[in-house]
Amino acid sequence: MTVTTIKSTRTAPKLTCTWVAVRGKDGRTRMEMRWIDETRRTARHAA
């Protein structure tokens, strides 16, 4: 039996925990800690 390792070009998403403003059903805004994809966030900031 031969064992081969699979090399993936996709790296695991870099997640960071950050404060996000969330608006509730009552219309009030509160801050929640959320895990976000760091690669998506930096791409959005650069645009």
So what's the pLDDT on residue 40? 64
So what's the pLDDT on residue 15? 84
The single residue listed with the structure tokens 């805004």 is 29
Of the candidates 15, 17, 20, the residue with the CA atom closest to the CA atom of residue 39: 15
Domain region containing 35: 15-45
Residue 25 in any domain: the answer is: yes
Residue 27 in any domain: the answer is: yes
Q: What is the pLDDT of residues 3-41, one digit of tens each?
A: 877 776 666 678 888 999 999 889 999 999 988 887 765
So what's the pLDDT on residue 12? 67
Contact predicate 21/31, CB 8 Å: yes
10: which DSSP letter? S
So what's the pLDDT on residue 46? 57
So what's the pLDDT on residue 5? 76
d(CA 19, CA 29): 12
So what's the pLDDT on residue 41? 57
If one counts the domains in the chain, the total is 1
Residue 8 in any domain: the answer is: no
Residue 36 in any domain: the answer is: yes
